[in-house]
Amino acid sequence: AAETGGLRPVIYRPSLIWSWSKLDVLPAIPIFNLASAMGVPFVDRTVRVGTLARAILSGLADGGVRGVQRVGEMEALARRRTS
């Protein structure tokens, strides 16, 4: 952190964020997930807003988290969050 003036560059890069309270995006979820599975550039699996929030909190708590966090990394960070 000293080399960047105390800031740690962390970028959370979800493709489509959704929640059960926002039902209008539900039809798009399978399209994004299929496009991700097919390897369409810049399209990842969808991420629930709770998963993204837990990943950000976990990343703030862990000083070793740096760089771009894509879906897999966000899901792993979200699982580590215990409190």
Higher pLDDT, residue 25 or 2? 25
Beta bridge partners of 68: 11
pLDDT value at 2 more than 60: no
> pLDDT tens digits for 12-26?
998 899 999 988 999
pLDDT number for residue 83? 53
Cβ atoms < 10 Å from Cβ of 74: 23
pLDDT in tens, 67-77: 999 999 999 99
Residue 56 — left, alpha, or beta (φ > 0 → left; ψ -120 to 50 → alpha)? alpha
Write the CA distances from 60 to 35, 45, 66, 82, integer angstroms: 30, 23, 10, 13
